[in-house]
A and B are shown apart, each in its own frame.
Chain A
Amino acid sequence: DTGVSQDPRHKITKRGQNVTFRCDPISEHNRLYWYRQTLGQGPEFLTYFQNEAQLEKSRLLSDRFSAERPKGSFSTLEIQRTEQGDSAMYLCASTRTSGGTGELFFGEGSRLTVL
C-alpha cells in the first residue's frame, strides 16, 4: 500500500495554457475524489468517481474542467485555458465503499500556479 500518489506535485503555467493532473489511488479503492483548496480555506469538492463512472460534479467544475477515470484505476483532471483564479492545490482522495470505515485517503496534492 503506497498511498495516493499525485503528479506533478507542482505546476507553473501561463494563463491560457492547458494543464493535466494525474492521481493514482490506493489499489482496490473503487471511489476516487478530486478537491481544490485555496490558501486559508478548506478543501472544496469538485467531483468523484465510483469505478469509471463519474457520479457527482460540483458546480465549481466549470466547462474548462474535465475529469476522467477510464479504467477505474488512475484518474486525470484537466484544466483548459487556465485562468489566474485556477491557482490552487488540487487534492485527490480515494476510498473503498465496502469493508472499511469509508475514510478518505488523500494524496499530498498538486499545486498549480497560473501566471
Chain B
Amino acid sequence: DAKTTQPNSMESNEEEPVHLPCNHSTISGTDYIHWYRQLPSQGPEYVIHGLTSNVNNRMASLAIAEDRKSSTLILHRATLRDAAVYYCILRVGPSGSQGNLIFGKGTKLSVKP
C-alpha cells in the first residue's frame, strides 16, 4: 500500500482556516485520497475523499496537487470541536470502496480559543 506522510501535530486558532498537509509521493493512479478524523474517545469518522479534482463538502475541502503527490485538507473556520487527530489515507479501487483503510499516526490538531 502506498504510504502517506503527515506532520505529527498542528495548532490553530478558533475561527481561523486550517490547512492540513499530506504527502503521498508513491500514489498510484487508482488510489483515492481519503481523510478521516478521530475526536477524543470516539471512533474515526469520515471527512472527505477525492481522486484528482478538488472536492468540497459541508465539513471541509480537499485540495489535490496536479501531480497527486500531495493533498491538503482545509477546514475553513476551525472550531473547538475540530480538535482531533486527522488521518490521510490512500485507498485503492475504482470508487475508493475496495479493500481496507490503512491508518498512519495522523496529525493531531489543537484549536485554541
Contacts and interface: CB of A to CB of B under 8 A. Distances in A.
Interface in A56-70: 56
- Interface SS, A side: loop
Interface residues of A, number: 25
Nearest to A98: B97
Interface residues of B, number: 25
Contacts of B105: 40-42
Contact of B96 (A41, A48, A102, A109): A102
B46 A103 contact: yes
A86 B12 CA distance: 35
A106 B46 CA distance: 9
B43 A106 contact: yes
Given A42-B87, A97-B97, A104 B46 contact: yes
B93 interface: yes
